[in-house]
A and B are shown apart, each in its own frame.
Chain A
Amino acid sequence: NAGVTQTPKFQVLKTGQSMTLQCAQDMNHNSMYWYRQDPGMGLRLIYYSASEGTTDKGEVPNGYNVSRLNKREFSLRLESAAPSQTSVYFCASKTPDYIGETQYFGPGTRLLVL
């Protein structure tokens, strides 16, 4: 049981390049999330997915797109990277509310946009 996994761990991009951050969970959770965390700051929600086939914007969705490929996988795409998107990106999945909501986070992807 690997929990939540993310790839890649590190990435350096040039302004304007695109990339996709991958996230997968093996806990059969319906809900999945993408957060970003800037140095010294708290987590900010980018997008979330309540179930396979559905996605919704969070607090800071501009410049990002997401795909909920299946129940396990939730990817985050940067179409044209900007230096302001330099951050650490965390993916998370959540247990159902009826058993006590708990979010499980991946190890993070550290992204530097030059």
Chain B
Amino acid sequence: DAKTTQPPSMDCAEGRAANLPCNHSTISGNEYVYWYRQIHSQGPQYIIHGLKNNETNEMASLIITEDRKSSTLILPHATLRDTAVYYCIVRGRNSGNTPLVFGKGTRLSVIA
């Protein structure tokens, strides 16, 4: 699975959009970009994933650049409850039962 690089921390004002970047310059053609988050003391939570098209669900939007070397997770209206560590993971479609590798992620602090 390709390696990812994320900033260690970010702040965002409550009600504003939070844009979390992720670099994955060695991504290959069959690898997806996944985003998870972990709110303090809770289990990790799946947010969204995509291959090359932008994706949106009820939680967030995922924007993947045309060359697929980077992506941005967008939380459109951040709330205090979105304060968490966000993990960007690149993983092949047929990774089988190899485990998810959670790196250090980005600690997002939403500020009132």
Interface, chain A (partner B; CB < 8 A): 4, 31, 33, 35, 42-43, 45, 48, 50, 56, 58-59, 88, 90, 92, 94, 97, 100-108
Contacts and interface: CB of A to CB of B under 8 A. Distances in A.
Contacts of B96: 50, 97
Interface of B: 32, 34, 36, 41-46, 49, 91, 93-97, 99-100, 102-105
A105 B45 contact: yes
Given A92-B43, A106-B43, A31 B97 contact: yes
Tell me if B's interface is mostly helix, strand, loop or mixed. Answer: loop
Contacts of A58: 99
B97 A101 contact: no
B95 A97 contact: yes
Nearest to B44: A105
B82 to A, nearest CB: 18
30 contacts: A4-B43, A31-B97, A35-B99, A43-B44, A43-B102, A50-B97, A56-B97, A58-B99, A88-B41, A90-B43, A92-B43, A92-B44, A97-B93, A97-B95, A100-B49, A101-B32, A101-B34, A101-B49, A101-B91, A101-B95, A102-B34, A102-B46, A103-B36, A103-B44, A103-B46, A104-B46, A105-B45, A107-B42, A107-B43, A108-B43
